Amino acid sequence: MSNNEKLTVTGTGDSLFVSDLPKEYDDGLRTVADFINFCDVKLTNLETNLSDFEYYAGAYSGGTWLNTRRACLDDLLRYGFNYFGNANNHAFDYSYNGLLSTIDTLDSKGLAHSGTGRSLEEAAKPAILEANGKKIAVFAVDASFETASKAGRATKTTPARPGVNYLRHEEIFHIDEKDLQDLKRVAEKTHVNYDREQSIATGYKTPDKEGVFVLGKTMFTTNNDTPATSCNTADLKRITAAIAEARITCDYAFMLIHCHDNDNTREENPPAYLTEFAHACIDAGCAAIFGGGSHRLRPIEIYNGFPIFYSLGDFIYQGLKVEHLPADFMEKYDVDIFATAQEALWARSRGNTVGLHCNKKNYQTVLPKLTFENGKMTSFALLPIYLNFDRKDDMNGLPIIAPPVEAEEIFNLLNDLSAPYGTALKWDRKFITLA
């Protein structure tokens, strides 16, 4: 390995990209793409499936069934990305066929990607990039998955299962002794734990941990030393071992993590397990963590000299331009199953009064430009990006370099969020840098 040359890296949050781009956007796209293409490594999270709607929809979705026609991928490639992360909560919106179609479409164009695969081993493998004389491993992990989307290993008798590279976690709520006794009385009165107790008695569930009381499916403890959330030990060990192994032959490793969870007090606050995960990945050899999933910016932490972006929010948000939706979506929002996607989305948004598209924070992000030399980060700059929240046409949700007023708002938000993590930022009217 050779670490004595510079490597520049950028990464984005979610490219929720479902439609072609309007001609009017050409200039805006060009200026954003110019910045991206100043970098050697250009990463994004592909939060959609790639097919031409020839596959059935899954029985559940990541909230909205997302799919993008294969021909539209060429528009996304105009930004210059050379890597696509596939591990997210929409990877299974069109079941196994949709997931495999996405993999095959990216492969057919020779595009690097990771986070999904035909087995857990394949989903967990990093993509390997070569840039500026360096060998780079890029991992993608989904922490906001449904059980059915987990990739699985083969045994001697059972084939492997396609799916996502996943990170499980536990959540437990802290209560006092009086609360505990109250919950036990509720359980006794309502019999809410009857099925659980029977499953434990017959071996289908493992006994509850000492000091933990479970009501329904929610865990409680009076032990305040227990973290509110924590990574699944086996998953964390598996992922960090893969990072360490990759670093044997690669100059750098980077991680994309998709996480919708928060600390149950504020959407912008990452859960404790995400911090545990990010620190462990850097300890194992990652040079930066690029978070997504929450649709909005979250804090930046510099840990042992390397950046953690707990969420970069959305890079593209075309949630209002979904082309088709299955009957499951229509029935959920009491819409005729033959209604258009736009009619169904109108019903869900209660006439465009609620939803991700109603909150400006979901339209604010930054594009990092990170420089690494001799295995260390030597420069850090963020370009404020605005997703045209004020536009109510085809430009809505598309990234442009933020105008001054929007850029200042993004800086103030990110600086305030990052302060509790010991990160102070400054803004020179163009870039946000470390103070």
Task: Please give the backbone phi and psi of residue 262, each rounded to the nearest 5 degrees, phi first.
Answer: -135, -170
Q: Could you tell me if 254 and 150 are in contact, meaning their C-beta atoms sit under 8 angstroms apart?
A: no
Distance CA 145, CA 91 (A): 9
42 bridge partner residues: 10
State both tokens at 238.
């598996």
Digit-coded pLDDT (tens) for 347-394: 999 999 999 999 999 999 999 999 999 999 999 999 999 999 999 999
Q: What is the pLDDT of residues 14-40, one digit of tens each?
A: 999 999 999 999 999 999 999 999 999
If DSSP states are collapsed to H, E and C, what string results for the chain?
Answer: CCCCCCEEEEEEEEEECCCCCCHHHHHHHHHHHHHHCCCCEEEEEECCCECCCCCCCCCCCCCCCCCECHHHHHHHHCCCCCEEECCCCCCCCCHHHHHHHHHHHHHHCCCCEECEECCHHHHHCCEEEEECCEEEEEEEEECCCCHHHECECCCCCCCCECEECECCEEEEEECCHHHHHHHHHHHHHHCCCHHHHHHHHCCCCCCCCCCEEEECCEEEECCCCCCCEEECHHHHHHHHHHHHHHHHHCCEEEEEEECCCCCCCCCCCCCHHHHHHHHHHHHHCCCEEEEECCCCECCEEEECCEEEECCECEEEECHHHCCCCCHHHHHHCCCCCCCCHHHHHHHHCCCCCCCHHHCHHHHEEEEEEEEEECCEEEEEEEEEEECCCCCCCCCCCCCEECCHHHHHHHHHHHHHHHHHHCCCEEECCCCEEEC
> Can you give the pLDDT at residue 16?
98
For the stretch 115-163, pLDDT in tens is 999 999 999 999 999 999 999 999 999 999 999 999 999 999 999 999 9
Percent of residues, the chain, with pLDDT higher than 70: 99
Half-sphere exposure of 201 (CA within 13 A, CB side): 6
In this prediction the pTM is 0.96
pLDDT digits (tens, 9 = 90+) for 248-258: 999 999 999 99
Whether the per-residue pLDDT at 4 is higher than 80: the answer is no
Indicate if the pLDDT at residue 106 is higher than 70: yes
pLDDT of residue 5: 84
Task: For residue range 303-313, list pLDDT tens digits in order.
Answer: 999 999 999 99
First-residue to last-residue Cα distance in the chain: 32
What stretch(es) of the chain map to CATH 3.60.21.10? Answer: 7-154+253-434
Fold of 7-154+253-434: Purple Acid Phosphatase; chain A, domain 2 (3.60.21)
Query: What pLDDT does 209 receive?
Result: 85
